[in-house]
Structure 1
């Protein structure tokens, strides 16, 4: 099912200390981690704690989500794919601030809603995607996306643990001290640089074709997908003048 909201309470598993053990695992996973390491560490913790095979975290961008960290190659590819397509569970979460639990990507509802993403995810061995907001419906700063090779939903306790990880991720991203942001930690400055390249490429395509920003970004995304590139890779081709849109 798509667009399912979590239950009203933490659900089963609370009384026997399972949730407390999850809290301890999150704390242990972050022990000794600097700001640049925290997102990747938390992706790994999510995979360890939950019946999922991969996790990625993406930040909200002006025009598209920006992948920050992933637990492995498949998770990284699917996060980049959603950015490239401009579609997928991550985008719904960024628009609404509400979780999306896609229990089986072979369901007609998923195939109809995200035809290309669902097909590509299934081709990568992923059957279910659980996308959670970082923040709230009022202020959503990004998403935590969980990928499972098996269809099915999360139990109430598992969903509560996933929301715990998303909550800690949100704090890690929004409560960075200014000195950490300015100390050359790399991940924030690297994201900003990549985002700037996409904006620069969009501006160049606008000038080449005489179109608006939305159309230019759509052209860039389409070109990236057609050539099996990420949006950033396609943008670098444009910025470095290896690709023009006003020539055949």
Structure 2
């Protein structure tokens, strides 16, 4: 499929979306539909610890939050190494052993493509694509082209995105820093560990910290 055809499919798919739904979710769903995939996700980053993540509804929507909680996975690798990552969800991967082991139960015979979204020479996020029936109807170069086009679009409209959840997490990190007297990275790791042990989201842990239902001490 040529790049122009792929972009035309994206535009037509986006035009069919419900205007009342968040624009970022509509864009994600349009990309997934245009590529004939079974699921997908966007993770947009404004810097360390600042992100927005959306996933298409379905069986794969738990996997992007799982990567957020664990701090590992194809999405992180794609953004950190600035390259397309392709992995099967039915096997354990040395680069992210915990995620791949847990994802196997949800993913089955699924291939995950994670492409860095670039804009202005920088990685601004990642586009994850879940495919259950073979390769997507485009090559790696076209998939990366779509990810970069999306990254440029998101960077241009960054001020209109909802960063409230990321800001909430940053405020919660500040409270854990004060409670434990540790750095932000360690406070983030403590919150991720708590989310994992509770089988819940970072958002839920952050809300509990901010509403003082959850405090951390060295005796835990």
1:239 matched to 2:210? The reply is yes
1:25 matched to 2:15? The reply is no
Query: Could you list the runs of 5+ residues in structure 2 that have no partner in the other structure?
Result: none
2:156 maps to which residue?
A: 175
- In structure 1, what is the Cα distance between the partners aligned to 2:44 and 2:129? 15
- In structure 1, what is the Cα distance between the partners aligned to 2:121 and 2:20? 25
CA drift of 1:100 comes to: 0.9
**Conserved in 1, the CA contact under 8 Å of 2:52 and 2:165?**
no
- In structure 2, what is the Cα distance between the partners aligned to 1:148 and 1:64? 28
Question: What is the aligned counterpart of 1:162 among 143, 158, 182?
Answer: 143
**Conserved in 1, the CA contact under 8 Å of 2:60 and 2:107?**
no
Query: Could you list the runs of 5+ residues in structure 1 that have no partner in the other structure?
Result: 1-12, 182-187
- SS of aligned partner of 2:107: coil
CA drift of 1:61 comes to: 4.3
1:211 matched to 2:196? The reply is no
- SS of aligned partner of 2:72: coil
CA drift of 1:68 comes to: 3.4
Larger relative contact order, structure 1 or 2 (CA cutoff 8 Å, min sep 6): 1
Relative distance call for 1:131 and 1:198 in structure 2 (3 A) is same
- SS of aligned partner of 2:126: strand
CA drift of 1:31 comes to: 2.9
CA drift of 1:172 comes to: 2.1
1:55 maps to which residue?
A: 40
- SS of aligned partner of 1:122: helix
* Segment of structure 1 superposing worse, 199-208 or 70-79: 70-79
CA drift of 1:119 comes to: 1.8
**Aligned residues between the structures:** 217
1:117 matched to 2:102? The reply is no
TM-score, with length taken from structure 1 = 0.75
TM-score, with length taken from structure 2 = 0.84
Q: Higher strand share goes to which structure?
A: 2
Relative distance call for 1:80 and 1:176 in structure 2 (3 A) is same
- In structure 2, what is the Cα distance between the partners aligned to 1:91 and 1:43? 18
* 1:182-207 residue CA offsets vs partner (Å, 9 max, x unmatched): xxxxxx2x32x211221121121122
Report the RMSD for the aligned CA atoms in angstroms.
2.8
Question: What is the aligned counterpart of 1:222 among 171, 180, 193?
Answer: 193
